Amino acid sequence: MRIVERSSPNFGPRRDGLRPELIVLHYTAMATAEAALERLCDPAAEVSAHYLVAEDGRVWRLVGEAERAWHAGVGAWRGGGDVNSRSIGIELANPGPLAGFPPYPEPQMAALETLLDGV
C-alpha cells in the first residue's frame, strides 16, 4: 500500500502529554473521496483526520500521527475527554445516508487492514 502525503492545515499539538490509545473510524458522508479530501484540507472547515481511505484503496495521510487531528469534536470515551488528543482518526470514503449506506468495497477494506497493521 502506498500512502500519499496531502497536508491538512487543520491540526495542532496533542494536549496534556496525551498519546494515541484509540483509533476512531469515520465515514465521510460525502459523494466522493476527492470531495472529502478537499473538505478535510480546507482551513475554513476546521476538520481533519490523520488518514483518508478511498473506495479503490488509495490512502492519503493528512496529519502526522504525532499531531492532533480534528476529527472527534468534543468527544469522550470511557471517562476520558479530548478524544482528538487520544486517538488516530481514519476517514473511510463512503456516502453513508446520501446513498443508502452502501457497503465498503474490498479494496478499501484491504487498505484499511494494511493501514491498521502499521498504526
Q: Which residues are catalytic?
A: 91
Torsion angle, alpha carbons of 109, 24, 52, 16, to 10: -150
**Residue bearing cell 491538512:** 8
Residues 6+ apart with CB under 8 A from 34: none
